[in-house]
């Protein structure tokens, strides 16, 4: 039997294991189960590839990423490993060739799509073969509350029932404590050893700015800091992806669009160009990225707020996989919160699902509005502690100025209350600033005690107060009621003056960009 280390060297060409790879590999070689949480780029593949080569029989890898199986298998073959895949892209002949190789004991690694694996025909095939282990990649797809849920994954617990003696490893890059438990429970991995490794990506600089003139902000970032670099720009809608890609091309960038509505050949073509050419900017919806292994992505920019911290972490994690400096820039605004909230409310999930979506969104907004180290908050969300501020996020590099916002917060909360918790931020701010517009008059809000008590702050300053109160849970955006602001239990102490609140001053940078664009 070859040793794990000699395979690492001679097959894969690396001289040392990274992080917890060795411990995970040893666990599987011994025949025990494992649950592996490792950030994107951490080196999850070797964790099952090497034990599959050390153990007798063929390792079966369940992966939802059909588009990438060919590449993975080609790379393994180039390293001299006899690997194959079974998915819907193969002809009958091709598939039966692979099946024969498996039964003859010639295959060392077999990639299978989950929907295929759970078919009785495939399970019977596997029962007749010699299997060394099962690896369940992207295991968070089993989580019903996660954003990548796939129903086929739920059935993967049958692997434990039908192959009780074959070791299984589940791997994922996204998992807060809750998802982790859900994976263990649904995949019957209660006795598995858990390996949670460093979620910190110290080479990624996190920057979160207010959307002011987003195009100018982006342009300045690309020209001043990222000239000639490869990167990904995420937008919420397909339409915005296309418009943004077109505009960047007009501005002289090598920008390509990517979203699920484009013909699959075009999508594949753009993906290939992004992987093979230098300095391509991919403008994409979240349909782009899962499983993409391009080491030198120098930046990931978000033009819209991601819908959760997990999504933000996973999407930004595609930058800097080579360990070199990279930047994650997010531009956000209150309108994003309203829009995402409405999308969640309009989805066909049940009440619990919607509530969780809303909580996730509020946590994401919280990350945007904090005044302390972003990385500390981000890692805390994944159950890790960073003892010192990181020194490589915008809050660390340019500490935000704060001010005592207790009084203005009281004004805002009172105004939300007096207007009946039925109006969005724009109207509430109009009332506070004493606007005489039609809507204010129509509802007779000029007769309220809170009318005009907030003329000292600008509209933008008020919006910043609204965002921060939402982010910290004093106000809620009611997505069912067209983004109406509502009070929460939490705001009582603040309203009674028993609690103080420090607010963030709108950062100078965003306004500087705004001023320049106006001249
Ligand atoms: P993940 O699946 O966790 O996103 P991969 O398995 O694709 O990560 O590995 C990311 C990169 O790191 C790959 O290019 C891989 O070859 C490389 N890598 C993995 N393990 C090691 C190691 N022990 N030494 C050097 N490079 C490694
Ligand atoms: Zn920091």
pLDDT of residue 42: 78
Sorting pLDDT into bands at 50, 70 and 90, what band is 55? very high
pLDDT of residue 472: 82
* Closest ligand 1 atom number to CA of residue 8: 23
Q: Which of 42, 38, 364, 338 is nearest to 206 (CA)?
A: 364
For the cut 70, the answer to whether the pLDDT of residue 511 exceeds it is no
Sorting pLDDT into bands at 50, 70 and 90, what band is 481? low
Q: Tokens 């797809």 appear where?
A: 141
Q: What is the pLDDT of residues 119-172, one digit of tens each?
A: 999 999 999 999 999 999 999 999 877 778 898 999 999 999 999 999 999 999
Q: How far apart are the CA of 321 and the centre of ligand 1, in A?
A: 9
pLDDT of residue 483: 79
d(CA 321, CA 459): 41
pLDDT of residue 68: 83
Provide φ and ψ at 40, rounded to 5°: -55, 135
pLDDT of residue 1: 62
pLDDT of residue 314: 87
pLDDT of residue 379: 86
Q: Tokens 């692997």 appear where?
A: 159
Q: How far apart are the CA of 416 and the centre of ligand 1, in A?
A: 52
Lowest mean pLDDT among 172-186, 246-260, 384-398, 446-460: 172-186
* Helix (H), strand (E), coil (C) string for 300-333: EEECCCCCCHHHHHHHHCCCCCCCCCEEEEEEEC
Q: Could you tell me the two tokens for 185?
A: 């429970």
Q: What is the pLDDT of residues 333-364, one digit of tens each?
A: 888 888 888 887 887 777 777 777 888 888 89
Q: What is the pLDDT of residues 223-241, one digit of tens each?
A: 999 999 999 999 999 999 9
Ligand number nearest to the C-alpha of 135: 1
Q: Please report the DSSP string for 196-254 in residue order.
A: E-----TTEEEEEEE-SSHHHHHHHHHHHH-TT--EEEE-SSHHHHHHHHHHHHHTT--
Is the distance from the beta carbon of residue 293 to the nearest atom of ligand 1 less than 6 Å? yes
Q: Could you tell me the two tokens for 104?
A: 């003859």
pLDDT of residue 507: 55
Provide φ and ψ at 250, rounded to 5°: -60, -30
For the cut 80, the answer to whether the pLDDT of residue 492 exceeds it is yes
Mean pLDDT of the chain: 90
Q: Could you tell me the two tokens for 178?
A: 């809750």
Ligand number nearest to the C-alpha of 323: 1
d(CA 422, CA 419): 7
Is the distance from the beta carbon of residue 18 to the nearest atom of ligand 1 less than 6 Å? yes
pLDDT of residue 363: 86
Over its C-alpha atoms, the chain yields an Rg (Å, rounded) of 26
For the cut 70, the answer to whether the pLDDT of residue 271 exceeds it is yes
Is the distance from the beta carbon of residue 41 to the nearest atom of ligand 1 less than 6 Å? yes
d(CA 414, CA 455): 15
Q: What is the pLDDT of residues 59-76, one digit of tens each?
A: 999 998 887 898 899 999
Mutate to test the pocket of ligand 1, among 36, 44, 45 (most ligand atoms within 8 A of CB): 45
* Closest ligand 1 atom number to CA of residue 12: 16
pLDDT of residue 510: 39
Task: Look at 314 and 30; give whichever has higher pLDDT.
Answer: 30
* Closest ligand 1 atom number to CA of residue 40: 4
Mutate to test the pocket of ligand 1, among 15, 17, 25, 43 (most ligand atoms within 8 A of CB): 43
Mean pLDDT for 415-429 is 95
* Closest ligand 1 atom number to CA of residue 16: 23
Task: Look at 281 and 505; give whichever has higher pLDDT.
Answer: 281
Local structure of 292: helix, strand or coil: coil
Is the distance from the beta carbon of residue 248 to the nearest atom of ligand 1 less than 6 Å? no
Q: Which of 150, 151, 149, 169 is nearest to 159 (CA)?
A: 169
């Amino acid at each position: 039997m070859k040793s794990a280390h000699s395979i690492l060297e001679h097959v894969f060409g690396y001289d040392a294991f990274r992080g917890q790879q060795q411990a995970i590999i040893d666990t599987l070689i011994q025949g025990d189960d494992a649950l592996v949480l490792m950030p994107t780029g951490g080196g999850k593949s070797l964790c099952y590839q090497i034990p599959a080569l050390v153990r007798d029989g063929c390792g079966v890898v369940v992966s939802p990423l059909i588009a990438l199986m060919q590449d993975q298998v080609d790379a393994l073959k180039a390293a001299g490993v006899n690997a194959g895949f079974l998915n819907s892209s193969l002809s009958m002949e091709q598939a039966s060739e692979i099946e024969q190789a498996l039964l003859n004991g010639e295959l060392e690694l077999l990639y299978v799509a989950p929907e295929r694996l759970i078919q009785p025909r495939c399970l019977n095939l596997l029962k007749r073969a010699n299997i060394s282990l099962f690896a369940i990649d992207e295991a968070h797809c089993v989580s019903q509350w996660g954003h990548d849920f796939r129903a086929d994954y739920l059935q993967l617990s049958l692997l434990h029932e039908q192959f009780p003696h074959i070791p299984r490893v589940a791997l994922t890059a996204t998992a807060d404590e809750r998802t982790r438990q859900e994976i263990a429970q649904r995949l019957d991995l209660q006795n598995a050893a858990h390996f949670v490794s460093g979620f910190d990506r110290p080479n990624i600089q996190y920057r979160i700015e207010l959307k002011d003139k987003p195009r100018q902000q982006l342009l300045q970032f690309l020209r001043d800091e990222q000239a000639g670099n490869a990167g990904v720009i995420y937008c919420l809608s397909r339409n915005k992806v296309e418009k943004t890609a077109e505009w960047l091309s007009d501005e002289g960038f090598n920008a390509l669009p990517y979203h699920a509505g484009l013909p699959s050949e075009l999508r594949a073509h753009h993906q290939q160009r992004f992987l093979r050419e230098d300095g391509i900017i991919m403008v994409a919806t979240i349909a782009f990225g899962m499983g993409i292994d391009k080491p030198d992505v120098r930046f990931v920019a978000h033009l819209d707020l991601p819908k959760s911290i997990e999504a933000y972490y996973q999407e930004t994690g595609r930058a800097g996989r080579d360990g070199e400096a990279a930047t994650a820039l997010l531009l956000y605004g209150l309108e994003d919160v309203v829009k995402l909230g409405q999308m969640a409310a309009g989805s066909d999930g049940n009440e619990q699902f919607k509530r969780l979506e809303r909580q996730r969104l509020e946590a994401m907004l919280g990350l945007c509005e904090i005044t302390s180290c972003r990385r500390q908050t981000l890692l805390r969300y994944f159950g890790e502690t960073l003892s010192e501020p990181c020194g490589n996020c915008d809050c660390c590099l340019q500490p935000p100025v704060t001010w005592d916002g207790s009084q203005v917060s009281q004004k805002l909360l009172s105004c939300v209350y007096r207007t009946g918790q039925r109006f969005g931020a724009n109207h509430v701010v109009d009332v506070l600033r004493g606007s005489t517009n039609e809507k204010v008059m129509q509802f007779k809000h000029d007769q309220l005690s809170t009318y005009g008590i907030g003329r000292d702050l600008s509209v933008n300053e008020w919006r910043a107060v609204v965002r921060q109160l939402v982010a910290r849970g004093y106000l809620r955006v009611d997505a069912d009621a067209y983004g109406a602001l509502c009070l929460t239990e939490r705001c009582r102490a603040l309203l009674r003056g028993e609690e103080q609140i420090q607010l963030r001053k709108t950062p100078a940078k965003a306004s500087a960009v705004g001023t320049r664009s106006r001249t």
